[in-house]
Amino acid sequence: MTCGSNKSIKLWNAPRKLLIKKYTGHGYDVLDVAGSNDNCQIASCGSDKSVMYWDVATGQVCIFATLKIA
């Protein structure tokens, strides 16, 4: 998986260098992304302090949260 300033997450078939799916929904840069152990969900965080949990198969956001830092 890759992420970055294009506000998206890309899921790749690395050996074949093929893009499998693109996930969009963040309003700002995506800073980090991680996959679940069962490969069913993706967690991502954006520079606007947003956190999203994605369903890999559908590409839909399951949970959206904005972090509040005092």
Instruction: CATH number of the domain at 23, please.
Output: 2.40.10
Strand order of the β-sheet with 8-13 is: 2-3, 8-13, 18-24
- Split into its structural domains, the chain has a count of 1
Judging by beta carbons within 10 Å of its beta carbon (0-12, 13-18, 19+), is residue 39 exposed, middle or buried?
A: exposed
The mean pLDDT value for 16-39 works out to: 96
**Mean per-residue pLDDT over the chain, rounded:** 95
Which residue segment(s) compose the domain that 54 sits in?
2-66
- The answer to whether the beta carbons of residues 69 and 57 sit under 8 Å apart is no
Q: Say what the pTM is.
A: 0.86
Q: Tell me if 10 sits within 8 A of 3, measured CB to CB.
A: yes
